[in-house]
Amino acid sequence: MTPIIAPSLLAADFARLAEAAQAVHADADWLHVDVMDYHFVPNLTIGLPVVQSLRAATDHPLDCHLMIEAPERWAVGYAEAGAYNVSFHVEAAADPIALAKNLRAAGAKAGLAVDRDTPIEPYLELLPHFDTLLIMTIKAGFGGQKFMPEMLDKVRTARRHADAEGLQIRVEVDGGIAADTIEQAAEAGADAFVAGTAVFGAVDPADACRRLRALVG
Ligand code: DX5
Ligand code: ZN
């Protein structure tokens, strides 16, 4: 599948999110929106009202990454708000398959996210129910951390499994993705790339997107 570049607004100025979206308008495929609740991760970011406002402010597909507890209570609201893809963490979900079905019924793609300390093997059997698999290449919670190449074994395992089973699932990597790490993630089988610091920490975010795309395109 064509590689997806998904700049993460976590690294943008939260008082200027619409401007950040505008800055990468022509060069980003999805906008990655990190939702954190102070419970699943020790950080608090943005919630549904901001996603609703973003939906009105940009026509980018919104890739909502829910780092929250009890996703069954909140995730469908993001689909109803117009998110393109809603990823929730397998560590937090009581019934991932039921939630995936509910997200799809609400018109969104369903995403399963796997944090740094979680192995992938026990969850491979869930993949037929999902459109995206987000593999953290850092510990979820904060931007600007160092990429962990050892996480790419999970990407390889997931990609091998998906290919063997004929699953049309995107494998997304999130954390420390930059010009010096994106190629190894692509070689491992990732085809969607979240980048926060590498895009919005750059002087020219649009150019940063183009550079990342050129490395995997
Ligand atoms: C962190 C978030 C990431 C974050 C990545 O938990 O899920 O999406 O924005 O930031 P960078 O690209 O700076 O590692
Ligand atoms: Zn994220």
Domain holding 95: CATH number? Answer: 3.20.20.70
Ligand 1 lined by 114 (C-beta under 6 Å): no
Q: Which atom of ligand 1 is nearest to the CA of 175?
A: 14
Which residues are tagged catalytic?
Answer: 34, 174
Ligand 1 lined by 145 (C-beta under 6 Å): yes
Question: What is residue 217's predicted lDDT score, i.e. its pLDDT?
Answer: 85
Is the ipTM higher than 0.95? The answer is yes
Counting residues of the chain whose pLDDT is more than 70, the rounded percentage is: 100
Mutate to test the pocket of ligand 1, among 9, 174, 199, 200 (most ligand atoms within 8 A of CB): 174
Would you say residue 54 has pLDDT above 90?
yes
Residue 183 structural domain: 4-216
- The CA distance from 183 to 213, in Å, is 10
Question: What is residue 76's predicted lDDT score, i.e. its pLDDT?
Answer: 98
Q: Which atom of ligand 1 is nearest to the CA of 141?
A: 6
Ligand 1 lined by 177 (C-beta under 6 Å): yes
> What rounded mean pLDDT belongs to the chain?
98
Count: domains in the chain: 1
Ligand 1 lined by 199 (C-beta under 6 Å): no
